Structure 1
Amino acid sequence: MGMSAGYELARRGADTLLIDAFDPPHGEGSHHGEPRLIRHAYSGGSAYVKLALRADEKWLELEEETGERLLERSGVLNVADMSVYDFRERQADIDGERIPVDWLSAEQIRRRWPAVRVPDGFRGMYEPNAGYLYSERCVAAYKRQALRAGARLIANTFVTGLRTEKDGSVVVQTKDGSCRADRVIVSAGAWFKTLQPFLFLPIRSVRKVVGWFETEGKAFDRGAFPGFTIGTKHGGFYGFPSIDGAGVKIGRHDGGVPWEPGRPLEPFGTYPDDEADLRQALESYLPGAAGRLLRGAVCKYELTPDEDFIIDQHPLYRNVIVAGGFSGHGFKFASAVGEALADLALNGGTSWDLSPFRLSRFV
């Protein structure tokens, strides 16, 4: 979110300084491990749907500017136990948006994708224009474009605190010194707690795992199999086809182990459930992809209580913009969120509906 906003600010002529605790793209946040789903028939209301459609446009713009492939339209198959979730609840929010969607019975799912095993109590929603983003490529592309547009980047530099001055400016303190700005955007991901007491947000950080599993045959290969989500009584899962033989990637959206900024992030396999949860889901619904574990990785979720985002001005300092709590489903929106953050920083407002993301909902 921060790199996207930095690019938007620099291209509009703002004097832009980017400060990162690491050197993006990196493995200390929530964007590494490639790829990330992008969908349009989104749950959570029309604000999400409109933002997802705008994000798609912005990703295509970035592809055109850089000449790099960032988005794959693999389609996304969403399946769920009807007692857990009914995708048809999204119909009202996508009406009029020209989002093609196929509503599928369990039998239709099994016929269309024989490698998918779902019971009769499941239903599906397939988005042919959805797909996935190469997340690390996206961050790297924004970084290059931001620097070309005149932004400056200070990498591997922790921000240790913020304060406001009598003239309204904001001082950003780092381990190597400080700088002063008229306006600041804070997008600290899972590290927001390190900025207290200047900013208190209801965000908890969680250790999450993903795994890549060997598949049988070519049914799960890129081009043959879509991205997917699976909603069950035992948890919610998401995943991707095997890209260039890497194996099917799968993660679990719910659950996870609490993590505190500064603590070591325990490696994949520390807990038996790291692999077991993922394998059980594959064995139940995608048995042909439940082969040998090829690779495991850990990352971080930054969760709000309602799992909706926080995109707002600081409650006391209107020239401090906050973007956080993206709750494991935010990456697809980064291009549009960066645009909205630049609007807020430069104009004090934006044409996009950010009302569901106001910090005041927690007060």
Structure 2
Amino acid sequence: MAEHPVYDVIIVGAGSMGMSAGYHLARRGVRTLLIDAFDPPHTEGSHHGETRLIRHAYSGDPAYIDLALRAQVLWEEAEAESGTELLVPSGVLNLADSGVYSFAGRLVEAQKRKVRAEQLDADEIRHRWPALNLPESFEAMYEPDAGYLYSERCITAYRQLALAHGAELLTNTPVLNVTAREGSVTVHTKNGEYHGAAAVLSAGAWFKSLSPFVSLPIKAVRKVVGWFGSTPDFEAGKFPGFTLGGEEGGFYGFPSIGGAGLKIGRHDTGEEWRPGEPLAPFGSLESDEGDLRRVLEAYMPGAAGKLLKGSVCKYEHTPDEDFIIDRHPEYSNVLLAGGFSGHGFKFSSVVGEILADLAVQGNTRQNIAPFALSRFNTGPDQPQPKPILEEIE
């Protein structure tokens, strides 16, 4: 077998985080190899389905707001460099039953960091968006500067830019194993071994396939989204991206883009999935369409038309729904990025930058302390699951 060249960094998993990291590394002149089991963008991970929300008013650790603001800047830069529309500033309307969830914490953090966010009561919401059918108990936090990203376009743009800067990409190449020592990493694939000084592991819902080299507290779950026939009130340009939390659970969605229908998904619940298992297609469970339709009929009746399309994807949850961005517990030259828990895509531009920072200079200006793997050590301070409405998309 021919000897493969030695790379500075090998990236295992070229989805949203991995492809972004590949771009940020290659543009700095780092010899970079990306390896993916499929051909990104693809439908075997967490990045397909056309759109993802990008918003900035997060609760919890302030690091999220800082990352979201930096991510926005980097998406705009990628859009300019690629010449492709990636981001639509549609605004995002966060709706919730006040008996279930309060936006107070997020509004306070937004004000501290000068993120524009408006608090609206049910009357104000209905006045601005008359097609919504909301009871008096509902309130909203509207982010006028937020919007949505075209997810597959984002992956494609970073792929093209990474390759243009000299990165290499191996597609349809499953990784069988990873071995490492300080200063050296070997990635074993069905097509042979690849050697690098360092590695980034960003395998998403497929992290369990890298065991026993790394074992992370990540659970992959099956998720569904559906596109429903809707009235003109819900067309892009008239209706924003949205999240919705109530007794029914936590949901998120997008306006009808080009007549495709309003898109809606559920953030909480989901059937556990493991690498190698079949992923049941949309419609296999009554709840696939049923949960989505019940919410639309209750709150957005004009968007509860015929199901136009359904899709399935995967979330990769950590126990507390916060990310993992850290070094391997045994090998400092192996970086880990996973557990993005259904709300991580918007951050992939800045996560890629962070991984490049760590690989090249050993540190990053971003605060990644909340994403340390050590927080999952057993003990009284072990993180607890968040409420299902805490962070959506």
Q: TM-score, normalised by structure 1?
A: 0.98
Corresponding pairs, count:
361
3-state secondary structure, aligned to 1:219: helix
Question: How much identity, in percent, do the aligned residues show?
Answer: 62
Contact 2:110 2:116 in 1 (8 A): no
| Structure-1 separation of matches of 2:92 and 2:107 | 17
Does structure 1 residue 77 correspond to structure 2 residue 93? Answer: yes
| Structure-1 separation of matches of 2:91 and 2:342 | 20
Report the AA paired with residue 129 of structure 2. W
**Residue 91 (structure 1) shift:** 2.7
| Structure-1 separation of matches of 2:23 and 2:37 | 18
Report the AA paired with residue 133 of structure 1. L
Report the AA paired with residue 89 of structure 1. G
Task: Kindly provide the CA deviation profile for residues 287-333 of structure 1, in whole angstroms up to 9, marking residues without a partner as x.
Answer: 10000000000000000000000000111111100000000000000
3-state secondary structure, aligned to 2:188: strand
| Structure-1 separation of matches of 2:69 and 2:147 | 13
**Residue 92 (structure 1) shift:** 3.0
3-state secondary structure, aligned to 1:95: helix
Task: Kindly provide the CA deviation profile for residues 220-243 of structure 1, in whole angstroms up to 9, marking residues without a partner as x.
Answer: 000000000001122000000000
User: What corresponds to 1:295 in structure 2?
Assistant: 309
User: What corresponds to 1:103 in structure 2?
Assistant: 119
| Structure-1 separation of matches of 2:50 and 2:18 | 18
Task: Kindly provide the CA deviation profile for residues 154-209 of structure 1, in whole angstroms up to 9, marking residues without a partner as x.
Answer: 100001111114x5311111111111111100000000001111100000000000
Report the AA paired with residue 306 of structure 1. D
Report the AA paired with residue 198 of structure 1. F
Contact 1:45 1:93 in 2 (8 A): no
3-state secondary structure, aligned to 1:343: helix
| Structure-1 separation of matches of 2:239 and 2:247 | 24
User: What corresponds to 2:217 in structure 1?
Assistant: 202
User: What corresponds to 2:245 in structure 1?
Assistant: 231
User: What corresponds to 1:344 in structure 2?
Assistant: 358
User: What corresponds to 2:296 in structure 1?
Assistant: 282
Give unmatched runs, 5+ long, in structure 2. Answer: 1-16, 378-393
Aligned with 1:182 (options 184, 193, 197): 197
3-state secondary structure, aligned to 1:312: strand
Does structure 1 residue 50 correspond to structure 2 residue 50? Answer: no
Contact 1:170 1:181 in 2 (8 A): yes
User: What corresponds to 2:76 in structure 1?
Assistant: 60
Aligned with 2:264 (options 246, 250, 264): 250
Report the AA paired with residue 267 of structure 1. P
**Residue 263 (structure 1) shift:** 0.9
Contact 2:183 2:198 in 1 (8 A): no
Give unmatched runs, 5+ long, in structure 1. Answer: none
**Residue 345 (structure 1) shift:** 1.1
**Residue 85 (structure 1) shift:** 1.2
Report the AA paired with residue 259 of structure 1. W
Task: Kindly provide the CA deviation profile for residues 258-283 of structure 1, in whole angstroms up to 9, marking residues without a partner as x.
Answer: 11101111100000100000000101
Report the AA paired with residue 236 of structure 2. R
